[in-house]
Amino acid sequence: MILFYKSLFTSEVKNLNQRELFYRKLLYQSFGNLISTAVPSIDDVFDTKSLSNLEDFFIWNSKKNMKTDWMISLSLIIYLDEKKLLNKDLEEKLVLLACSQWTYSDKTSNTKIMIISSRVRDKNFYAEKSFEANKKRRLYYTKLCNAAPSSERFVISEFK
Amino acid sequence: MKVGVNWSGQRELEALQKVLENTDVDFIEILIDNFLVTDTSTIEKILDGRRCSFHIMNSQFLHSSECKLRQMADMLKELQRKLRPMYISDHVGMFEYENKNFPTMLEISYSEDNFELIREKVIKWQSYLDCQLLLENYASIIPQEYKQSTFYEYLLRDTDAGLLFDVSNAVIAEKNMCQNKEDWLKIIRNFKTNNFHIAGYEKNTDGDFWVDTHSNKISKESYLFLKEILEINKKISISIERDDNFLWEDWSHDVNEVRKL
């Protein structure tokens, strides 16, 4: 299993059998589906059905020590930016996706997250966990007039 | 036999409520880590007098820090106090390797080298929760040198954890040539397993293997295997899981078919 785990983050594992190769593809595709379902316009610049695209992104993440947990869409922003494929609309949607993923993956008593992107100076992005069993989590942004410049690519704050 | 359905979040609530309105459902298995900050009175409204059980998907107890696990355990214990679940269960799964997260939970290695680490982690997580934890078997895809059932047998023996046996996961593992599903019967018998899962699965579009999708009706093979299990123990609880393709009529049909067994 260890070799299989490693194969998701490097192209150096060469001796996978056919089933392992297809399983690896399925795992990459599950990430591709997540992104394209939440942000359909991603496919205009980054084909989420392309195995080589997904493989390249995961290996890039590993080499750069980027986050692949709920912050994976923030890593994708930096990846697309490096490849000169990023636009503001896409960045906003991918930041909101990270907010959304946080509501599922955070298992603390924190209830709200705010993400500020240094490239989207006029908006702050939020997600709030749901307090009621029949209500969905809330995703939104607030508009800003004079956002202070930040040296950080993303500033993330979590709240009780 | 108590027949239940799973409830993972708000996304499937509409289908779940249709099933509850139109089907005889004894309990609801709640994917509780999606409801950690939820007001329990709103959960009780949906339960509508039914019992519940807790299923944990994302504790990531093999990887998470003690501090994070203790905080999560405290929230779970508060929910447990208020909702009185029939059992609490979790997955023994790999979510990351060398600090790199996988796109989804993967199967652990069943090698002897890995046993002690997993044993310690289960004991710790169980002690934070302060109750017996049931551990679910995995729908294996990649054959390993050591059998999952043997690993679980030792793990249950050495941790006092219980088994949450997923009938269809064992069927999938057999179809994927990972291990015979009947290997589990001895463990079900010896560890007095009372709590079960069953769900639909699909053949992957590429490659010759099957995947646990929870997206369609229960297979004949799963029904037949469940019948074998019922010969060992009739007083079980079983949750019919659906996590995709939420056709409430199909879900309801599965509940009714399981109840007939």
B82, two tokens:
């208020």
Radius of gyration (C-alpha) of chain B in whole angstroms: 18
Find, among B208, B95, B58, B147, the residue nearest to A23 by Cα.
Answer: B208
CA angle A83, A89, A93 (to 5 degrees): 95
Question: For residue A132, which residues of chain B lie inside 8 Å, CB to CB?
Answer: 38-39, 42
Q: Does B104 sit within 8 Å of A18, measured CB to CB? A: no
From the list B39, B75, B100, which residue is nearest A132 (CB)? B39
Q: What pLDDT band is residue B242 in, cutting at 50, 70 and 90? A: very high
Q: Report d(CA A27, CA B204) in Å as an integer.
A: 12
Q: Report d(CA B84, CA B42) in Å as an integer.
A: 15
Question: For residue A104, which residues of chain B lie inside 8 Å, CB to CB?
Answer: 34, 58
Task: Show the DSSP H helices in chain B as ranges.
Answer: 13-22, 40-47, 66-83, 112-129, 148-159, 167-175, 185-190, 220-232, 248-260
Pairing status of strand B237-241 against strand B2-7: parallel
Q: Report d(CA A39, CA A91) in Å as an integer.
A: 10
pLDDT tens by residue, B173-225: 999 999 999 999 999 999 999 999 999 999 999 989 999 999 999 999 999 99
Q: Which residues of B23-35 are buried (b: 16+ CB within 10 A; e: fewer)?
A: bebbbbbbbbbbb
Q: What pLDDT band is residue A146 in, cutting at 50, 70 and 90? A: low
Question: For residue B108, which residues of chain A lie inside 8 Å, CB to CB?
Answer: 1
Q: What pLDDT band is residue B101 in, cutting at 50, 70 and 90? A: very high
Nearest CA to CA, how far is A109 from chain B (Å)?
7
For B32, which residue in chain A has the nearest alpha carbon?
Answer: A107
pTM above 0.90, yes or no: yes
A12 contact B CB<8A: no
A7 contact B CB<8A: no
Question: For residue B100, which residues of chain A lie inside 8 Å, CB to CB?
Answer: 8-9, 61-62, 68
Q: What pLDDT band is residue A150 in, cutting at 50, 70 and 90? A: confident
Nearest CA to CA, how far is B33 from chain A (Å)?
7
B54, two tokens:
């807790």
Whether the pLDDT of residue B69 is over 80: the answer is: yes
Q: Is A76 left (phi over 0), alpha (psi -120 to 50) or beta?
A: alpha
A68 contact B CB<8A: yes
pLDDT tens by residue, A49-100: 999 999 999 999 999 999 999 999 999 999 999 999 999 999 999 999 999 9
Q: Does B206 sit within 8 Å of A26, measured CB to CB? A: yes
Burial class (CB in 10 A: 0-12, 13-18, 19+), B124: middle
Q: Report d(CA B21, CA B158) in Å as an integer.
A: 43
Q: Report d(CA B180, CA B114) in Å as an integer.
A: 22
Q: Which of A9, A23, A34, A138 to mutate to test the interface with B (most CBs of B within 10 A)?
A: A23
Q: Percentage of residues in chain B with pLDDT exceeding 70? A: 100
Q: Does A9 sit within 8 Å of B100, measured CB to CB? A: yes
Interval B27-48 mean pLDDT: 97
Q: Could you tell me if B136 and B89 are in contact, meaning their C-beta atoms sit under 8 angstroms apart? A: yes
Whether the pLDDT of residue B84 is over 70: the answer is: yes
Question: For residue B206, which residues of chain A lie inside 8 Å, CB to CB?
Answer: 22, 25-26
Query: HEC string of A74-138?
Result: HHHHHHHHHCCCCCHHHHHHHHHHHHHHHHHHCCCCCCEEEEEECCCCCEEEEEECCCCCCCCCE
